[in-house]
């Protein structure tokens, strides 16, 4: 015993203390690791429990789910393949710890998102697009889980309908028609710039609606800058395994200040987001101060500001949503239409015959001709179906309560996404889906198949979250395509050896609002009489549009760089 005491006292006290501290630190570290492991295990057990009740899908891993199984491009095609693999219209795919239910069938989409619209009217938590992006003041992103949220959503939707509702857009037909005539006029001299002509047309229409000012120059910053931002946002928000969308899997990374987090791609910067809102607010405020064009949408918003207690950010979001609802998407649809005309020339012949019979060569089609042009109407519908711009139906829906479909659980607040690509490429409704075939939409034609809803396509979404600009887009797209079909021949561009340059009908961008990659096409007037009519109408249209000429002192780039 004495020897042991001597040995004990022979050891320096600081060594004992150091050993104890090492032992204590090791215990703490071990406790933390064990606690974290148990937490991950418990969370994973909960994931697997939910998985057993939800629609089938790939087996998820702890924490990361199925995120790193996503393809690099066009995930909507991958989800279509999974739906076939599991032989079910619904699949569950885990982005990190959060399940997403993908709807790959028209009838299921109609049942859930249209017939149960009251349940599927909300949005899930969207870290990248909403919280770090356009914000919760935006109608597109709003939750509707509480009474107060539903009331605010109802107010904004009502105000949006005052701008682009079904009845309201009929008032815009005169300048929409004139801007369409200007496109045909410009195609006579610069057909190779057809993309720029379409972007100018679509942006000018919504600019007149929103701010009482037309856009006459294809290089106007309100086109180049705003559409560039829209393309960037669409590219960044594709479900994927790269940043910034990877923050949906690892949300803690979003807490790092933006200036120190290159993976956030500038999202979440209070300065940038604030100034981004200020840009559209400034455009609206500028338009409101001008005495002319009393019926422009900006004046409506300021008139209703006090009644509905609209904040500046809400005015900005409502004004900005006009561009999202009618500029980039509409121009992309028109580019797709030209691709279809170039790749499937046989579909033009019935259109030409119908237009020659109903319209003739001395004037272009008008809205009054719609009822007498069933094939042209079917042609436009096939454009919407063949390569839909909003390829996954816009932003995800979320049920406000737990729901069940065919025995499968869809938990409250789950991401529910309609896969428009899969819906519009289902062989059951659309045999040979990649073949452009307007006959699918002709009544009593053998190529027609049953489809839920009267339109025959689901391009604009569903239920209470359907695209606000649907009526405007359908109205303008019909008129523009009818005028293109009436006025022009679309053939192959020729290379230096005089050989036709091929086009690829699958070569599309990877963004949520997809459009064809650049392709060349020959665009020529169908006859001399048609060319003279285009010139006459184009010159008159520019005269009629003169009252809308004007400039704005604001540039989006200056708001983002100050």
* Calpha distance 266→274 (Å, rounded): 13
- DSSP character for 129? I
* Calpha distance 366→249 (Å, rounded): 50
What b-and-e string marks burial along 10-35, b requiring 16 or more CB atoms within 10 Å of the CB?
A: eeeeeeeeeeeeeeeeeeeeeeeeee
Residues in contact with 103: Cβ distance below 8 Å, sequence separation at least 6, in sequence order:
89, 90, 109, 112, 113, 416, 417, 418, 419, 423
Binding residues for heme, by number, are: 467
Q: Are the C-beta atoms of residues 388 and 511 closer than 8 Å to each other?
A: no
Closest CA to 236 of 420, 421, 511: 511
Binding residues, by number, are: 467
The H or E element that residue 315 is part of is helix 312-326
Q: Are the C-beta atoms of residues 201 and 187 closer than 8 Å to each other?
A: no
Using DSSP's 3-state secondary structure scheme, residue 216 falls into: coil
Q: Count Cα atoms within 13 angstroms, Cβ side, for 149.
A: 15
Question: Residue ranges of the alpha helices (H) in 359-467?
Answer: 374-386, 420-424
Q: Are the C-beta atoms of residues 205 and 169 closer than 8 Å to each other?
A: no
Spatial strand order in the sheet of 98-103: 90-95, 98-103, 415-418
Q: Token pair 């509480």 is at which residue?
A: 146
Task: Identify each DSSP E strand in 191-309 by its residue range.
Answer: none
Q: Write down the number of H helices and E strands in the chain.
A: 19, 7
Cα distances from 61 to residues 37, 67, 92, 249, 377, in angstroms, run 14, 9, 13, 12, 48
And the tokens for 93?
């795919």
* Calpha distance 557→562 (Å, rounded): 9
């Amino acid at each position: 015993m004495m020897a042991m005491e001597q040995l004990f006292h022979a050891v320096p006290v600081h060594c004992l203390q150091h050993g104890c501290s090492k032992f204590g630190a090791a215990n703490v570290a071990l406790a933390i690791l064990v606690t974290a492991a148990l937490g991950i295990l418990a969370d994973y057990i909960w994931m697997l429990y939910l998985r057993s009740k939800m629609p089938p899908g790939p087996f998820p891993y702890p924490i990361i789910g199925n995120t790193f199984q996503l393809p690099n491009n066009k995930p909507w095609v991958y989800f279509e393949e999974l739906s076939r693999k599991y032989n079910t219209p619904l699949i569950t795919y885990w982005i990190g710890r959060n399940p997403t239910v993908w709807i790959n069938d028209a009838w299921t989409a109609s049942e859930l998102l249209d017939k149960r619209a009251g349940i599927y009217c909300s949005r899930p938590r969207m870290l990248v697009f909403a919280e770090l992006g356009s914000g919760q003041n935006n109608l597109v992103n709003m939750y509707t889980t509480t009474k107060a949220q539903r009331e605010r959503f109802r107010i904004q939707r009502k105000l949006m309908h005052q701008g682009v509702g079904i009845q309201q857009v009929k008032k815009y037909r005169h300048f929409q028609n004139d801007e369409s005539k200007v496109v045909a006029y410009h195609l006579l001299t610069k057909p190779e710039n057809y993309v720029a002509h379409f972007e100018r047309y679509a942006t000018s229409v919504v600019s007149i609606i929103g701010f009482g000012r037309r856009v006459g120059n294809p290089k106007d910053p309100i086109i180049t800058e705003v559409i560039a931002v829209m393309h960037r946002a669409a590219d960044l928000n594709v479900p994927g395994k790269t940043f910034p969308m990877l923050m949906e899997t690892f949300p803690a990374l979003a807490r790092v200040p933006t200036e120190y987090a290159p993976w956030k791609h500038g999202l979440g910067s209070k300065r940038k987001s604030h100034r981004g809102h200020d840009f559209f607010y400034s455009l609206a405020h500028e338009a409101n101060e001008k005495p002319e064009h009393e019926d422009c949408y900006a004046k409506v918003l300021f008139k209703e500001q006090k009644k509905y207690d609209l904040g500046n950010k809400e005015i900005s979001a409502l004004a900005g949503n006009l561009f999202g609802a009618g500029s980039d998407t509409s121009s992309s649809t028109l580019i797709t239409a030209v691709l279809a005309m170039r790749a499937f020339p046989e579909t033009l012949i019935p259109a030409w015959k119908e237009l020659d019979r109903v319209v003739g060569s001395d004037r272009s089609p008008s809205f009054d001709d719609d009822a007498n042009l069933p094939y042209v109407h079917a042609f436009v519908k096939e454009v919407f179906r063949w390569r839909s711009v909003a390829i996954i139906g816009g932003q995800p829906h979320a049920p406000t309560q737990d729901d069940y479909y065919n025995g499968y659980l869809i938990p409250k607040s789950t991401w529910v996404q309609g896969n428009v690509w899969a819906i519009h490429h289902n062989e059951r409704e659309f045999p040979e889906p990649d073949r452009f075939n307007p006959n699918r939409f002709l009544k009593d034609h053998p190529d027609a198949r049953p489809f839920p809803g009267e339109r025959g396509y689901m391009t604009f979404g569903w239920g209470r979250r359907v695209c606000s600009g649907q009526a405007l887009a359908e109205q303008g797209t019909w008129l523009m395509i009818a005028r293109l079909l009436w006025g022009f021949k679309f053939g192959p561009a020729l290379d230096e050896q005089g050989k036709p340059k091929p086009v690829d009908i699958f070569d599309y961008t990877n963004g949520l609002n997809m459009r064809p990659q650049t392709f060349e096409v020959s665009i020529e007037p169908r006859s001399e009489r048609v060319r003279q009519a285009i010139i006459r109408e184009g010159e008159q249209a520019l005269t009629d549009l003169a009252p809308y000429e004007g400039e704005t002192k604001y540039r989006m780039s200056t708001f983002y760089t100050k």
